[in-house]
Amino acid sequence: MRSLRWLLGAATVAVTLGLTACSGGGAPLTASSAAPGGATAASSTGGGDRLLNVYNGGSGQFTLNLNPLAQGTPILTGARGMIYETLMFFNQAKADDVQPVLATGYKVGDDGESITFTLREGVKWSDGKPFTAEDVAFNFRYRRDHEELNTGGAKIEDAEVLSPTQVKISFAEKIYMQVWQIAGKTYMLPKHIWEKIDDPVKRTNDKPIGTGPFLMGDFVPESYTMLKNPNYWDAGKPKIAGVRFWTFNNNESASQALLAGKLDWAGIWMPDPDKQYAAKDPEHNHYNNDSFQYITNLVPNLTKAPMNELAVRQAVNAAIDREQLIKLAFAGLGTPTTLLELPQPVFRDYVSPKYVSAKLEHDPAKAMQILTAAGYTKDGEGYFAKNGKRLTITCHVVSGWSDFISAMQVIRQQLKEVGIEFKSKAVSFSAYTDIGQKGDFQMFIGNAWGGPHPYFFYDNILHSNGFPPKKQNMARYENKAVDDALDTIKVTPPEQQDTVKQALFTIQDHLVADIPYIPLQQPAGLTNYRTQYFTGFPTEDSPYAATASGSDPDVGIVAKTVEPVK
């Protein structure tokens, strides 16, 4: 899905499927009666056997990986949220909305170094065994004992079972800013299975046992299903028989399937969704066009020439005309952003007074002045060079991502006008993931993502302990002052907001000075859904979860909430 690109650590797999492989819009896709995983999936509900048909974007083939602990390799969409659940759900579509899942509540200790969960009773794993406090304690000890699993970074000391419904997790540091990862991004695994596994990251987990609303169904490299868990703890849910995930070569073929009624829920970007989609079937075709909490960036690799040179990053930043870029490549749907890497207006209150009115100015003359001052001179073809080597930048992009590919073409021309040679290299999604993880690139285009507070955004992409696969510091940025500011925020109690803001302002000063990322836009997040067969999707009036068809764990919340049209 367009808005989720660059979530390489938690990326959804993209796969290739010809349009003819989709079931026709008039014939229902039905659920199989059997599913792997030690349980029998429901084959029908009150709404019949039709499956919810979903497309979350991308290219390449599906790989059967359902391990929620996987790092650096894609896992199937739905593993997190539909099969495996967290203790709480933090709704990023609505401010300050935290919902109970496997826990009914939590309390942070007075010293900030512990959190106690009250657990839901009557929950069972999909193999019929009870979900217990021992399972919860095991999950945190497991992450403590396998350091590579503790991607949230909280230093777990111990997990203590206080009663059958209460578990206390203790930490070696204050965890005020990490409750979201602890309660909302730690997926619960059954102790009776995973305590026997010594190499958890490498396991593909093709027969998953979870507490979630769905079970794994059939799988082929072109599509797969997740089917209703008939013994799910949330009575009456899910209301649908199951979900089938599809894929396509590119946006165009996916759009054809959507318009033909073969998809019920998708993340497909299109330049004029009113005309191209909604108007085709006003009764059933709908979309959400939210300004997502992402920033589209050119991501320079600060460990490789020429992007390790500040003057080059400054020149590229000054040479790009964002207004023209958004108009030509993104159909005018994106919004301008700044070097602060903070989505607006959601984080407006966290912007330093210095930068409240900041804009990214298009200044070709300044770009050329910067390079000249850095010792570059133009060669006979009008391109800058130094020490006999032309200033050339190669940027990776995923094949089939038409808007990003269009952006490459616009940027190539804009940089050529100031004397920078810019080349794009289209690769498969799996190759794109691989180069991001390994750092084998000069530059790539993608979206930076954070969480429900600026701390998560900055910690994810800036902290020096966040190189992939642990976090998403794809630029390989290292700055002790930024690390110190982030570490300060992490241990500051919520009531000391002035301290938090001053630390954020320090980070913003370094972002402006260092340009570790080159922002292009704050993208619009387009999610398409059809109500011919299913209703109950999140809307602007009912934002109970993120609408994005590839967002986790939101995909599970949405899939268990939608219901068939009767």
Residue 69 confidence class, pLDDT cut points 50, 70, 90 = very high
Compute the average pLDDT of residues 488-516.
Answer: 94
Structural domains of the chain, with CATH: 1-83+202-292+525-566 (3.40.190.10), 88-186 (3.90.76.10), 294-521 (3.10.105.10)
Full-model pTM: 0.76
Give the confidence band of 199 by pLDDT, cuts at 50, 70, 90: confident
Predicted confidence (pLDDT) per residue in 13-29, tens digit: 222 222 222 222 333 34
Contact (CB, 8 A) for 396 and 430:
no
Contacting residues for 381 by C-beta, under 8 A, at least 6 apart? none
Confidence of residue 450 (pLDDT cuts 50, 70, 90): confident
DSSP three-state, residue 427: strand
User: 70-74, 318-322, 462-466: lowest mean pLDDT where?
Assistant: 70-74
Which tokens belong to 221?
Answer: 């490299």
CA 384 to chain CA mean position, Å = 37
Is pLDDT above 50 for 39? no
Q: What is the pLDDT of residue 292?
A: 58
How far is 179 from 92, CA to CA, in rounded Å?
A: 14
- CA distances to 130, 148, 424, 521 from 322, rounded to whole Å, are 54, 39, 18, 7
Question: In this structure, are residues 526 and 288 in contact, taking their beta carbons and an 8 Å threshold?
Answer: yes
Who's near 116: CB < 8 A, 6+ residues apart?
A: 106, 107, 109, 162, 166, 167, 168, 169
Give pLDDT tens digits for 169-180: 999 999 998 899
Buried b (16+ CB within 10 A) or exposed e, 537-566: bbeeeebbbbbbbbbbbbbbbbbbbbbbee
Q: Once rounded to an integer, what is the mean pLDDT over residues 124-148?
A: 95
pLDDT given for residue 253 in this prediction? 84
Which of 53-67, 190-204, 377-391 is least confident?
Answer: 53-67
Range picked from 16-25, 114-123, 285-294, 397-406 for highest mean pLDDT: 114-123
The rounded distance, in Å, linking the Cα atoms of 380 and 258 is 50
Among 12, 10, 8, which Cα is nearest to 58's?
12
Name the packing angle between helices 251-259 and 402-416 (round to 10°): 140
CB atoms within 10 A of CB 66: 25
Q: Is the pLDDT of residue 10 over 80?
A: no
Under DSSP, the state recorded for 184 is I
Burial class (CB in 10 A: 0-12, 13-18, 19+), 193: middle
Check whether 31 has a pLDDT greater than 60: no
Instruction: Please state whether beta strands 392-398 and 265-266 pair in parallel, antiparallel, or not at all (unpaired).
Output: unpaired
Which residue type, as a one-letter code, is found at position 443?
M
Q: What pLDDT, in 10s, does the model give residues 315-332?
A: 999 999 999 999 999 888
